[in-house]
Amino acid sequence: MTVQAAENINIFWFLPTHGDGRYLGTTEGGRPVDLPYLQQVALAADSLGYYGVLIPTGKSCEDSWLVAAALAPITRNLRYLVAVRPGLQPPTLAARMAATLDRLSEGRLLINVVTGGDPVENKGDGIFLSHSERYEVTHEFLEVYRRLLAGEKVDYRGQHIQVEGAEVLFPTVQRNGPPLYFGGSSEQAIDVAADHIDAYLTWGEPPAQVAEKLAVVKARAEEKGRTLEYGIRLHVIVRETEDEAWAAADKLIAHLDDDTIAQAQQIFSRMDSTGQARMSALHNGNRDNLRIAPNLWAGVGLVRGGAGTALVGNPQQVAERIREYQALGITHFIFSGYPHLEEAHRFAELVMPLLPTSTQPRSAKGQLNTGPFGETIGGAARPVKQVSAS
């Protein structure tokens, strides 16, 4: 896939509403994720210059809409990528919720369309549909949802969704509603993306596999006369040296035992998500061969569903890997790291200055104790080397 890389990229962080800590798959080093902690992460992301934050969805998480509503008032520029769930909520309700939160956040809402890939969890939510039926619902949902947020009064009769005289009375700040993000690797998912989505998301596979997938999505969208943007979801482990970074990766899974890995892999195997199957195939539940591409590590996916790979290395290496994905046409990068508060700062300080980001950290101009940043030397002299240049 050959495309012209965009000049600037949008860097997102992640709100860990399903838990956080220093290690994976254990209570060791875990920390409570309450409102004050989420506020700290959101405020850090806002001040450090992240474009937005992804809020996960599902029964293992706090509700993404309520979290976004709680955090939007305390942040200035940060955007919130929040999930709508076709089949779990009707499109009219989702449209009203989106319009309200877009207004209350002054246009800082983004929408993540999540079809759901775990049949067991879906049944717990009252959804007894096959994989293909769920994507039929998603298609019909978006037909209605998009028209509502474009200001239409909608009559629609589909196989799964029917509305008469549906409308949203109060418009969104963003014209035609917040942008739609969506990820899915199956043929049905790619069709949905081609028809409806603004930004197609993929999980962090090796660049060659990502290029192959994006080429298919791009071609399918072009058949519909549409042009999409592209994004990728990755974890990141960056340290000042490569050895330190790989040591941190090993430490992250230091408390994992084989039984915990096997239990997680059994849960993943019951899912009918093509994307999850592709993630699991990168390691096959085996911790022996987790370095799957230069600076790309699959250790997170041993016990975490969804995004299971991390960029690992020193700042220059991580930035170079990001530029490789950017060269494929990716402009939205959604990162996370454990613990999320500290790693938000680390990534922003070490890597973001090396990248052409679309946003910048909040200016210190006019504030107390302005830069160069760092502790005053000897009580009188200011440091001259910026932290970001280290």
Chain-wide mean pLDDT for the chain? 92
Confidence grade of residue 1 (pLDDT, cut at 50, 70, 90) = very low
Distance between CA 29 and CA 138 in Å, rounded?
A: 39
- Under 8 Å between Cβ of 347 and 338: no
Per-residue model confidence (pLDDT) at position 305 = 81
Distance between CA 268 and CA 225 in Å, rounded?
A: 36
Task: Name the E strands within the chain.
Answer: 10-14, 20-21, 30-31, 52-54, 79-84, 109-113, 154-157, 162-166, 180-183, 199-203, 229-238, 291-293, 296-297, 310-313, 330-336
Q: Which two tokens stand for residue 174?
A: 């963003």
Q: Is the peptide bond before 339 cis (omega within 30 degrees of 0)?
A: yes
Distance between CA 387 and CA 165 in Å, rounded?
A: 57
Distance between CA 133 and CA 267 in Å, rounded?
A: 22
Chain centroid to CA 69: 18
Distance between CA 24 and CA 338 in Å, rounded?
A: 9
Running DSSP on this structure, what letter comes out for residue 355? Answer: S
User: H or E stretch including 145?
Assistant: helix 131-149
Q: What is the pLDDT of residues 187-236, one digit of tens each?
A: 999 999 999 999 999 999 999 999 999 999 999 999 999 999 999 999 99
Distance between CA 91 and CA 259 in Å, rounded?
A: 41
The torsion angles phi and psi of 84, rounded to 5 degrees, stand at -105, 150
Confidence grade of residue 387 (pLDDT, cut at 50, 70, 90) = very low
Q: Which two tokens stand for residue 231?
A: 């994004």
Q: Is the pLDDT of residue 138 over 90?
A: yes
Strand, helix or coil for residue 141:
helix
- The model carries a pTM of 0.92
Which amino acid is present at 68? A
Q: What is the pLDDT of residues 285-335, one digit of tens each?
A: 788 889 999 999 999 998 888 889 999 999 999 999 999 999 999 999 999
Chain centroid to CA 127: 24
Lowest mean pLDDT among 7-21, 111-125, 150-164, 344-358: 111-125
Chain centroid to CA 176: 22
Q: Which two tokens stand for residue 186?
A: 């199956």
Distance between CA 83 and CA 132 in Å, rounded?
A: 20
Q: Is the pLDDT of residue 365 over 60?
A: no
Domains of the chain (ranges, CATH numbers): 10-234+331-345 (3.20.20.30)
CA-wise closest residue to 80 among 17, 8, 167, 134? 17
- Under 8 Å between Cβ of 235 and 304: no
Residue with tokens 């892999």: 265
Q: Which two tokens stand for residue 139?
A: 């298609």
